[in-house]
Structure formats: C-alpha cells, structure tokens
Amino acid sequence: MAILPAAAPSYADDAKPAVTLSTAEAAKGADVTVTGSGWRPGALLMLLVCGQSDPARGVIGGTNSCSNADGQAVTTDAKGSFTKALPAAPPPKPCPCVVHVATVQGEPALVDTELKITGHPVAPLPDQSGDGRLAVLAEPRLDGSSSLLTWFGAPPARTLVFTVGNLGSAPVKDPVFQLGTSHGVFAPQWEDRQWKGTIAPGRKAEIKLDFELSAGAHGDYQVSLRYAKKLLATEPWGVDRPWGVTVFWILLCLVVPAAVFRIGMAVVDRLRPRDPRRAHTPRHRGMRLTDVTVRLPGAGRGRGERMAPPAGPDPDPDPGRRPGPDGSAHRTTAPLPWFTPDSAPSENPPGRANGPTTKGNP
C-alpha cells in the first residue's frame, strides 16, 4: 500500500511536531542537518527538499515539486526526536523552497521549514485559487467478504474505506473520485465514484466507495484511488478462485457421458433385430393358487363330503364327469402330477389281507 503525502498543517491533535535546520541557506548538494522534536515515538518520517513551496501554503503541486530521489527516511526515538543529514538537492521547481517532513504511516503529521538554496532559480508562487485539495490521512482498507455465490463465480465485491482531509482553503463539495482495479501487468480501469457531502478546509471525512470485479475474477488485484488526476492511495487485494465452478464442470464431464451412454444403450436395445425362433414362443403363464386348490381332491370340503355341482346349465361339460351306478353324475379327479396310477397310495397296502382279519383264525 502506498500513500502520497501532501503539504498541509498537521492533523495530529496531541503532538506538536517541530523541525529546525542547521542552516537557513545551503549550496546545491550540501548537507543540512535536520532536527525534529515533539513527534510521535517510533514514527517513520520522510524528509524532502521541495520547490515552489511556502510554510504557510505548503507544497504547491504535491511531491512532484520535490527532489524525491534525494529524500531521506528517519525513525523517531522514544521521546519523539530525531536528527538526520539531508542533502540540499535542487528540486524540479524554482524556489522558494522548504524542507518537507511528514509521517509515512499512522496518524498524519507534517512540518514545512523554509530553506534557501544558493544558485537555484526563484519564482513567485502561483496565485492562490481557493480550491480545495484532498489528501488521504489514514491507511485505506477493504471491507466485505465473499459469499457462497462468489464461490460459484459471482462477481467479488468490496468497499474501499479511507479518510481524507481538505488541505486547501476552500470547501470541497460532492467530490468525484476515480477508482481503478488492475490485474497483473494490465493498467487500471478507472471508474468515477461520487461521494455526497462537503469537506470544509482543515476538516477530514471518512469515505466509503463500493465496487466489484467481473464474474469469475480471481488472482492478485490492485485497487487504486485517484482524485483530480492525482494518485492518492493503492491497496492490494487477493481474490480466491471460484472452486464451485471447477467442481461443477468436473461433475458435468462425468454425468453427461454416463447419461449419453445409457440413452444410447436403450436405443440400441430397442432397434436391434429379434430372434425369429423366439418371436412366436408363447409365454408361460403362472398357475394361480386358486387353480391348484380346485384341482386338489377334497379341497375346500370335509371328509366324505361331495362337491356340489355349479348352479345353472353347464355349457361346457367336463369330460372328467362320469355317470355313477345310481345314474347320478360324479366327477373323477385326475391324478396329481407327482403321482402315477401305479404309485398312488391304496386302501390295502402291500402285506395286508384283502378281507378283514378275524381274531383267533390261523
């Protein structure tokens, strides 16, 4: 994440930082000892020599007016003090010049101290336009999380939250920011996002901008924030791969071939020619339990009880019905399939006399 600082009075409420220089004028390239006090303990500071600047108006044009290549970084001690040698490198803009000291992270604070550079051109400062100037005062963050739909390829969405301060002399009403997202080596795609509200001079406000990527996006992205064609901040964003789409395609590659195979086998089974030898073979009908019961001798009646003839005329006389000695017809039961006439049980088993046995006869 990178934040581009801008010149303005410090927004730190408690700390009152101060900067002193070892000399008020220095030759080009000469070292100037910068001493600071009243800063936040352990704060990382950036030291720059900037042109077209004034301690009252700050650095006009931002850090583009500073000699960024010769800047120095320093960390304050436990008491909030520091001492650092800074070369008086000529800035790209003419003087008046200042030594610009600002915090890099945490609570923003900055101090501009006038410095004259011998031999460097001097030009009057541009007229004050009265426009408001916004700068990012706190580290931006991305709020939000992925849902179940995002796991199946829905567009990932987040909210960029950042705090800006008005460093100008005029209020800023309904500012229009530019939000860009880039992937890999591609350039950001900028979109305008308007924030409804007014930021008075010397005031700050928390701004939230919603945005989303394209459907199925994944990988390492970078979110950039720009205002008035100046880059204010960048924030990295790692987007997870939508694994639900991958699982769906794997299942689709397994289910569709199996379904096509089943349909094809059903069509082949219906269209294949039948065996002519089996075409006219009658199907065997199963025997019902009632048919077996009717054919069993004595089924459904008691011992010595005769079956009553059916009521009404018999259109189809039974060939098994024979007239009896007394002229009445009675039904002769066909032998069961598992008995033959020779093997059927008889009333006189072998070894028994045909007549009755009398007791006492030899």
- 295 compared with 44, residue with greater pLDDT: 44
The pTM assigned to this predicted structure is: 0.39
pLDDT the model gives residue 75: 94
pLDDT in tens, 100-110: 999 988 777 88
Give burial (CB, 10 Å; 0-12/13-18/19+) of 207: buried
Q: Strand 219-227 to strand 204-212: parallel, antiparallel, or no bridges (unpaired)? A: unpaired
If one compares 32 and 340, the residue with the highest pLDDT of the two is: 32
Q: Which two tokens stand for residue 339?
A: 């008995």
Residue 229 vs residue 266, higher pLDDT: 266
pLDDT at 96 over 70: yes
Q: What is the average pLDDT value for the chain, to the nearest integer?
A: 75
pLDDT tens for 97-151 read 999 999 988 777 889 999 999 999 999 887 655 566 788 887 888 887 766 666 6
- pLDDT bucket at 338, cuts 50 / 70 / 90: low
Contacts (Cβ under 8 Å, ≥6 apart) of 8: 58, 110, 133, 135, 165, 167
Q: What is the mean pLDDT of residues 344-353?
A: 54
